[in-house]
Structure 1
Amino acid sequence: MKFLQWLHRWTGLILLIQLMLWTISGLYFALVDHHGMKGHQYFSMQQPEALNRAQLANLSPAWWDEFNGVTKVHSYTTQGLPRVEVHHQDGITHLDGRDGSVWQTDQNFAQQIAQASYSGPGSLARVTPIERTRELHDWRGQGYRIDFDDDLNTRVYVDRASGTVIDHRNTPWVVADWMFRLHFIDYTGGRNFNNMVAIAAAVMTLWFALSGFILLIKLLNSGEMRFTLRKASLTADVGERQFKFSDKAHKTVLQVLQHNDIAVESGCGGGGTCGFCAVKAAPDTPVTVSDRAQLSATQLEQGYRLACQHSIEMLHKVEVPETDARKYSLQLKESRFITPMLRELRFEVADGPVEYAAGQYMQFLIPAGAGQSRPADIPEDYVIEWHAIEACDFKHDAVRRSYSMATAAGGTELVFTVRYQPQAPGALAPGVGSSYLCNLKPGETIIAEGPFGDFQRLAGADRKLCFIGGGAGMAPLRALIQEELRSHQPRPMQFFYGARNRGEVLYIDEFVELDNADKLRFVPVLSEPRETCQWGDAEGFVHETAEAWLRQQDISEYDFYICGPPRMLAAALSMLKELKVDPSRVRYDDFGN
């Protein structure tokens, strides 16, 4: 179905372009005088002059006795010279009426013929011998093109064999010719609707209609078809409080709740991959693919559904879990690049300390209409990493973006690592949230809501800890490690962290120092190392390096914490499943980007 949708979309684009061409050319034909399209603005039409009796007396019947099957003979004067046109079974032959020889039109005589047919203000500019031209579709032979230097760039074509004017052409005719080509979809200039391009366009149109019908049936059967102009209402029970909202029917329950300041946990920003935004609805509410993937069978039977996957037209009443999350005003203290694509942001909480557990996150409220651009303070060594990211300024609706705290709780400072999101395929612009946050200046403030999330330490003081991470997944893992190090008796920890090269390993000095102090074992795994691997480095994919090590260990002694890009996360979870690790000892954070 994805391929069908892709093909349908691109077929529609091609047909839309052709429809626009038909509309433009049709308007041209309606508005422009059809006489102007012929190129005859300065064409002085002259009827051939028949020979008089005296001239006819000089003609000898023997001249055309050489031709087989003569059917017709015409006699004319061309610029005062007699010309005989003989039609016979082999074609048409033109003879000089003075001596019966084959008619020949030289360059000077062609000029006279062209000037006699021309009534414009220009003078003769040049004469060019030709055998064919794109401007005369059906003509082949020998002739002349005579150009006049007038306002329309008139060109007169004279046939050498007959000494006649074939036609006039000029700039208005060229424009009209292209309009005919676009309208007929015939780029040969033949004005023929029955050509291969037109037939292909008809087949594409038939395919577009058929595929659209198939997709419509599929959409109706899935129950996901939404109508943007309708409105619907939503009743939300939050504890002992009840709220009622009205909004566009296509908006999701999550969007409506967040827009009306009802705190709902959402780690993936509405992508349906984290499973945090579960709300309770009627048990007979349709179940989506994401519902089935993220919620247990018991939850589905009880009516729990993901708020981000259902519109308020589908869910009219929901129960929303209460949360201690609230809004905080954060003032930026410091912002700096720590890798080519990751920036560390340090905020001071104006409302006092935030009580949170390591591994939790905050939702940043990105203001509506905020523009975005490339940060101005990119280090010189990092500029090459930004070659594909264009500066951009655009408008958008207010959005929420989730980022995990990169340190354990303590004090009124919150630290986040934000990955600048390049432009995704098919997207209008780079990431809204990351761009806005990366361009904040010290002293500026932003509202964040939280804390949210259950990516926290598992109970079990006797078990060792194994962390597997990559990219911005460092933030919650670093906070969990700091929290463990603050405990009375820290447990043994193993940390595998994946990056393309050493320059992209976050907080590498900090973790190398911890490794040297025997507080944890830190293994950077580089997939595209630019230099010779240094102390402690491994080469390849992080989940493969972790698997090789785990096969030498007693995995029942470990709890596992995983966070990173979607592909890395999926590979690591699959690897642990293959090793038959008890799922109750695996915690992961799917931030869905």
Structure 2
Amino acid sequence: MSLSTLRHTGTAGTKHSISLLLQTLHKWLGLIVGLQLLIWVVTGLAFNLIDERFLDANPYRTTDKTASPNTALAPTADLLQQYQAEGIIELKLTSVLSRAVYALTTTQQTRWFWADSLKPLSLTNTEILAIAKQSYSGSAELSTPQILSRETPFDANGPVAMLTAADEVGTRIYIDTASGAVLAHQNRQSDLKDLLFMLHFMDYAPDNGIGFNHLLVQVVSIATLLLGLSGIYILGHKFHQGQLSLPFLKRKIPKGKLALFTQAAQPLAEFTDLNGTYLESINRGRERLRTQCGGGGRCGLCKLRFVEQPPSPNDYDLDKLTATELAQGIRLGCQHEAHPGKLELATQAQHRDWSQSER
């Protein structure tokens, strides 16, 4: 084999290595992006097919009622003077269990005081239970308040108390013990809704907040871009190697004769209908060269030696053939379009199968 041919084979091997690397990358990127795409489709269908009322977190939540204070209000001058150094922003009058409450907001924090005594708001379990009952319209009994030690997604100013109701949806009520505010109602059905939202928006990290442009979204976006670019390269590479053809571009069938010889250079057969690959042209009418993959380039059984000007090896040739075989001009017959020329069988098994096919 000439030096230029060896160099060409070496270049093909380098391109083959790059192609294999990109195909591996493309496969794993396709798995990652495809899995997330499947999750988007499934969760999107779930949101459209499941009745919104089934996912409602508030089937038993009553409308917040702001009762008018029924107690005398203490003067606020001393309270304002006490926290003036922090920079007072707002003093607001509200109520908890029909008892007036001052909400004092400074540049540092918000504090709540009973408006009739100016004492800091401090709720007992009985009062927390009463607040929960005011927000609940169901008939089930509520449990004793439980102070949660874990972090919660609620914007609370103090410890969060949770109460549960033994109803059919498993209602849970969350109370901010610092202000007496009802933070949320949740249940088993709303948990399903939260799960669907988490999967749909890839909101797997608890500190993402409400932003959709978090790190995981960025990673999947980059993976999708790389998936497309690697796919374009692989498509172009396969088209260049002749492994793909466009249906609207009709291939011109070459005219001439393909002569096939034995390994000992003895004439074996001649073919003039060169439509398709060498394997297809030789096996047209009956199977003369046996394969296990049917011409998919996976079994490597259709080896043929090109006596003159072997075609450039493609990825399948480089996968299934040794460097010695490539140097001898051996290629896979299923991977190259048939043209007039001279070929030889490459293995003794092919001679044996050929003899059996002629009987």
TM-score normalised per structure 2: 0.70
- Give the one of 149, 154, 160 matched to 1:143: 160
1:347-358 aligned at under 5 Å gives the runs none
Gaps of 5+ in 1: 323-358, 364-403, 405-447, 453-593
In structure 1, the residue matched to 2:7 is none
Q: 2:274·2:338 contact (CA, 8 Å) conserved in 1? A: no
In structure 2, the residue matched to 1:197 is 216
Return closer, same or farther for 1:360/1:211 CA change in 2, 3 Å cut-off.
Answer: closer
CA distance in 2, matches of 1:36, 1:272: 55
Higher helix proportion (structure 1 or 2): 2
1:118-129 aligned at under 5 Å gives the runs 118-129=136-147
CA distance in 1, matches of 2:250, 2:325: 28
Return closer, same or farther for 1:209/1:128 CA change in 2, 3 Å cut-off.
Answer: same
In structure 2, the residue matched to 1:161 is 178
Shift of 1:104: 0.7
In structure 2, the residue matched to 1:183 is 200
After superposition, the C-alpha distances for 1:521-569 in whole angstroms (9 at most, x for unaligned) are xxxxxxxxxxxxxxxxxxxxxxxxxxxxxxxxxxxxxxxxxxxxxxxxx
For the pair 1:65 / 2:85, whether they are aligned, the reply is no
Shift of 1:360: 5.4
After superposition, the C-alpha distances for 1:209-239 in whole angstroms (9 at most, x for unaligned) are 2222332333333333256999988998887
1:243-262 aligned at under 5 Å gives the runs 252-254=277-279, 257-258=282-283, 260-262=285-287
In structure 1, the residue matched to 2:45 is 27
CA distance in 2, matches of 1:211, 1:241: 42
Shift of 1:275: 7.1
In structure 2, the residue matched to 1:354 is none
Shift of 1:34: 5.2
Shift of 1:57: 4.5
After superposition, the C-alpha distances for 1:406-435 in whole angstroms (9 at most, x for unaligned) are xxxxxxxxxxxxxxxxxxxxxxxxxxxxxx
Shift of 1:192: 1.9
Q: 2:148·2:159 contact (CA, 8 Å) conserved in 1? A: yes
Shift of 1:10: 0.2
After superposition, the C-alpha distances for 1:48-106 in whole angstroms (9 at most, x for unaligned) are 22325xx3445554344322143332223322322221223332111113321100111
1:314-463 aligned at under 5 Å gives the runs 314-315=337-338, 361=349, 450=355
- Give the one of 244, 260, 263 matched to 2:288: 263
Shift of 1:451: 5.5
For the pair 1:215 / 2:240, whether they are aligned, the reply is no
SS at match of 1:50: coil
Gaps of 5+ in 2: 1-17, 261-267
For the pair 1:3 / 2:21, whether they are aligned, the reply is yes
Q: Give 1:208's aligned amino acid.
A: L
Moved more, 231-240 or 159-168: 231-240
After superposition, the C-alpha distances for 1:449-480 in whole angstroms (9 at most, x for unaligned) are 7569xxxxxxxxxxxxxxxxxxxxxxxxxxxx
Return closer, same or farther for 1:362/1:264 CA change in 2, 3 Å cut-off.
Answer: closer
For the pair 1:308 / 2:331, whether they are aligned, the reply is no
In structure 2, the residue matched to 1:81 is 99
Identity %: 23
Q: 1:257·1:263 contact (CA, 8 Å) conserved in 2? A: yes
Higher relative contact order (CA 8 A, sep 6+): 2
Return closer, same or farther for 1:143/1:106 CA change in 2, 3 Å cut-off.
Answer: farther
In structure 2, the residue matched to 1:174 is 191
- Give the one of 100, 104, 122 matched to 1:104: 122
After superposition, the C-alpha distances for 1:463-521 in whole angstroms (9 at most, x for unaligned) are xxxxxxxxxxxxxxxxxxxxxxxxxxxxxxxxxxxxxxxxxxxxxxxxxxxxxxxxxxx
TM-score normalised per structure 1: 0.45
Shift of 1:317: 6.9
Aligned residue pairs total: 316
SS at match of 2:145: strand
Q: Give 1:91's aligned amino acid.
A: Q
Q: 1:145·1:156 contact (CA, 8 Å) conserved in 2? A: yes
What is the aligned-residue RMSD (CA, Å)? 4.2
Q: 2:148·2:161 contact (CA, 8 Å) conserved in 1? A: yes
